[in-house]
Structure 1
Amino acid sequence: MGRRIVGVALSILLACFVLTPTAFAQSSETDELKAQLQKMREQMQAQQQVMDKMQQRLDELETKQRTQPQPQPTSQAAATASLATPASAPHPSTPPPYRPPSAPAGVAEPLPEGYIRLGDTGNLLKVDLVAQLDTMFDTTYMGAKDLFVPSSIPASGQPFYGTGWRSNLSAKQSIFRMDFQRDTDYGTLKVVYKNNFFGSGSGDMPYNLQTFYGKLENAAFTLLAGYNISAFTDIDVFPNTLDYEGPNSFTFKYTPQILFSPVLFTSGESKLTLPMSLEKPNADITVGNTGFNTYSRRPDITLGLRWEAPDWHVQWANLLRDLRVEAPNGQSRGSTGWATQLTATTKLFEHDSIQGWGSYGRGYANFLQDISGLGLDAAFDTDGNLHGIKARGFGAGYTHAWLENLTSSAAFGYLRISPGSNLLIADTQPKSTKFASVNLAWQFSERAMFGVEYLWGQNILLTDARGQGQRIQTTLRYDLNP
């Protein structure tokens, strides 16, 4: 019995020696797992803190982007010319305005989808090629046969008066245009180049530069420098004529300039701006054979106010000029030129629009379509003093959409000069001219248009002799990137 008890005791003691290391091993493994689990918890907490900081930074950037003011485009034009867009440029939040088929190509500010990206330079480029053929049938001789200019119509008693029908074909309204654009720290920078073929050289297609300028625009201002249409011109009211010249009384002039247009006030999508510019003076003065040359002591100055809304705008522009002549011996004469002009356009119904303009002043004939280049800014009187010549002009245009791709446009213009009775100018100069046109244009594809236009003009000389002429013009236009 005692031996059995001793055996059992020995067995129990042996089992304790055998099982004790296993128990110790299990306890050690549990502690190790607990340590690893705690370490993983600490790592996850650190990663969560990093993620919270990244989310906070992202929220700050998105809030800043939503509250930062975005650049607003300004309107611009060109019928050309015939390049001018007959409607105010839309703001980014509004759809682009309806452009009738008879609107000349390149009128509106180029649309973003027309651009391509120039590699990784940050520059965008839009290239537009317009091939156009005009066929013209005139009832009488026209001094400027490619253009319909009422002041060039022969009056009674002048050569070529009543000489009868004649025809002409011209491709001079064809256009090459490049628009570069990029975003900068100060706004959107654009460089625009455009030419047609109404130059003064020989041949059927002489080169003619129309625009070459740089423009920086943002929500606060627009700054333009280079060669462009004068700031006195409101190209957005140029009516949709197929003829390149357009209404006789429209003020239109290309010139080197610097233009600054700050935004004074905004209300929703409307804004009030104060366009002002310094432009190259180009005094157009009748000097005859007196030996005098024309010059100006200072640039032409323009100052205006423009209220622009998505569907309409109104503009008041003012012009101040210095008109002078000088002889080789140092003798000089001078006069002051000035003009004021009110222009407006508005959208009617869904696709129709109306444009209007009126100007008055002294010594600004070189800005008026029909009498530019005739020396009618100023003239000498019988005492040898220089005087600016009074002039005035007004007109209107209307565009109606018969169908989405079929429109008609009508335009009228009246122009008159009032020189003093003692001014030394030829009595064959025009005293007043009138202009009227109506057309029908069919946009038979997205990039092609065919139109027919009737034009009428009258020329009345200072002697009251008069003449009138008519033209029927057809136009076929292909536009690569409208």
Structure 2
Amino acid sequence: MKVKFTLCLNAFVSIFFTALISVPLQVSAQQDSSVYGKGLTRNAIESGMYSGFLFTDVKGIRLQFNGFVQADFIHDFMEIGNAYAMQPSSITTPTVHDGNTAFSIRQTRFSFTAYGAPDYKGRKLKAVLELDLWGSTSGNPRLRHAYIQHGKWLFGQTWSNFMDGDNWPNVVDYWGPNSYIFTRLVQLRFTQSLSKHATLSFSAEQPGGDIMIPVNWVSRTVYPDITGALQFDFGKSNESHVRISGLLHPIDYKNGKGDKKTNIGGAGNISGNIYLSKDNDVKFQFAYGSGYAKYSEDLSGLGYDAFAHAFDKRLYNIQMLAPWLYFDHFWTKSLGSTIGYGYLHLNTKDLNMPGETIKDTHYASFNTTYYYTSFFKIAGEVMYGRRVNVNGDDGNDIRAQFTAFFKF
């Protein structure tokens, strides 16, 4: 599958650049800025607030190419399963004092954006294809975003509507806070502006439960997830916001007797970015519900939406609490620091789950970033992760990371 994807990607890139050299191009190169750091924050990068190289008027479509090269140099002082992102759920329990060093370029990213002429009603048209090198330790491409946006409608894979994609703390670790609601899903989304300060959005998102079930049970995909979000922007230039989002997550399965059943997971999420001054921001999230671990940065893919024993007739949703709080500060236009903490708690006491099941994870980090220009920075970050199991076993890890980053 990876080979096919790589071949398709190579073909796409070849066709893309062949098309570019066959027509007259106007290329806008990067210009340095007097405000270095503000354009290179993690939030600016993930939210698509920065531009790249613009190729204009290619058969009526404007094409933009951008991305960045990032090199990470990581050392863990204790044993952890994920050597490239601080994932507390992968920490060995009890703690094993066996360090590891990893050098990586996996965060490196490139993106193509196509802008079409508005239709007869003035509705804008855009398509995005974005990949990174997270596919393997050798740096194979991996799809991140692939979507079409036509006016108020979005079709394709991008950040879930249940996630706040505009409140990233300025961390250099790939995943950031363990409790972050952080996932990309294929979806159909509708967004309506209510005023200059309020936006309402709804989406139907990729179905599928992330569950722990006996071997003779079957996970099914029948009903899509449904999300809704209301965002309020405020401040002199709408630089602050609070977002309230909700999720209905059908979990479809067939039990050992062949009965087809559906659990309904659900959660609420309050998040935002509060602009305190030109050099200080507070970013936060508070999510709570049951059966929604699929949307968790730390737990996605580990089966923590719901659980069933072999003798059970139905699944039982797992309740989850997921808050985090971060503070971003700029000392000067070229020097900034970020500090914060995330906590994830699973309520499993009544489910009689195995002793090695996760009960809590913790995440804390501090970094300092130096911005040489508006497109090159280096950063040093120290992270702490902790995992606590149902049986009381716990494990810890301390990680140090140095990163160099160049945007184009």
Identify the TM-score tier after normalising by the shorter chain: 0.7 to 0.9
2:60 is equivalent to residue 126 of structure 1:
no
* CA gap 1:326/1:97 in 2 versus in 1, 3 angstroms: farther
Partner of 1:37: none
Distance 1:318 1:324 in 2: 19
Distance 1:346 1:412 in 2: 17
* Preserved CA contact (<8 Å) 2:253 2:260: yes
Task: Select which of 162, 173, 189 maps to 2:125.
Answer: 189
TM-score, with normalisation over the residues of structure 1?
0.72
Distance 1:427 1:332 in 2: 29
> How far is 1:373 from its partner?
1.1
Secondary structure of 1:409 counterpart: strand
* CA gap 1:187/1:431 in 2 versus in 1, 3 angstroms: same
2:227 is equivalent to residue 299 of structure 1:
no
Distance 2:232 2:37 in 1: 20
> How far is 1:108 from its partner?
3.5
2:354 is equivalent to residue 416 of structure 1:
no
**What are the superposed Cα offsets for residues 323-369 of structure 1, whole Å, 9 maximum, x if unpaired?**
12215874334311000010111222113211110000010011111
> How far is 1:445 from its partner?
2.1
Q: Which structure: greater strand fraction? A: 2
**What are the superposed Cα offsets for residues 291-330 of structure 1, whole Å, 9 maximum, x if unpaired?**
1121143100001211123211111100001112215874
Distance 2:41 2:192 in 1: 32
Partner of 2:377: 449
2:40 is equivalent to residue 115 of structure 1:
no
* CA gap 1:370/1:320 in 2 versus in 1, 3 angstroms: same
Secondary structure of 2:303 counterpart: coil
**What are the superposed Cα offsets for residues 411-451 of structure 1, whole Å, 9 maximum, x if unpaired?**
2100000025244x322121001110111111112321110
**What are the superposed Cα offsets for residues 70-129 of structure 1, whole Å, 9 maximum, x if unpaired?**
xxxxxxxxxxxxxxxxxxxxxxxxxx997364527732335568533134x332222113
Point out where structure 2 has 5 or more consecutive residues left out of the alignment: 1-34
Distance 1:342 1:317 in 2: 7
- Written as runs of structure 1 = structure 2, the 5 A alignment for 1:1-400 is 99=38, 101-103=40-42, 106-110=45-49, 114-119=53-58, 121-156=59-94, 161-185=95-119, 186-199=122-135, 201=136, 203-217=137-151, 222-264=152-194, 266=195, 270-289=196-215, 291-309=216-234, 310-326=238-254, 330-380=258-308, 383-400=312-329
Distance 2:280 2:351 in 1: 47
* CA gap 1:395/1:410 in 2 versus in 1, 3 angstroms: same
Partner of 1:74: none
* CA gap 1:101/1:184 in 2 versus in 1, 3 angstroms: closer
* Preserved CA contact (<8 Å) 2:256 2:313: no
Distance 1:97 1:296 in 2: 46
Moved more, 336-345 or 162-171: 162-171
Distance 1:366 1:308 in 2: 28
Distance 2:407 2:39 in 1: 14
* Preserved CA contact (<8 Å) 2:37 2:335: no
* Preserved CA contact (<8 Å) 2:71 2:105: yes
* CA gap 1:336/1:140 in 2 versus in 1, 3 angstroms: same
Percent identity for Structure 1 against Structure 2? 25
Moved more, 107-116 or 128-137: 107-116
* Preserved CA contact (<8 Å) 2:37 2:374: no
* Preserved CA contact (<8 Å) 1:101 1:407: no
Q: Which structure: greater helix fraction? A: 1
The residue type equivalent to 1:188 in the other structure is K
Moved more, 327-336 or 96-105: 96-105
* Preserved CA contact (<8 Å) 1:284 1:376: yes
Aligned residues: 368
Distance 2:110 2:43 in 1: 13
Partner of 2:29: none
- Larger Rg over CA atoms: 1
The residue type equivalent to 1:147 in the other structure is A
* CA gap 1:441/1:111 in 2 versus in 1, 3 angstroms: closer
* CA gap 1:262/1:316 in 2 versus in 1, 3 angstroms: same
Secondary structure of 2:166 counterpart: helix
Distance 1:105 1:303 in 2: 24
> How far is 1:461 from its partner?
0.5
TM-score, with normalisation over the residues of structure 2?
0.85
Secondary structure of 1:276 counterpart: strand
Point out where structure 1 has 5 or more consecutive residues left out of the alignment: 1-95
Distance 2:405 2:51 in 1: 22
Secondary structure of 2:45 counterpart: coil
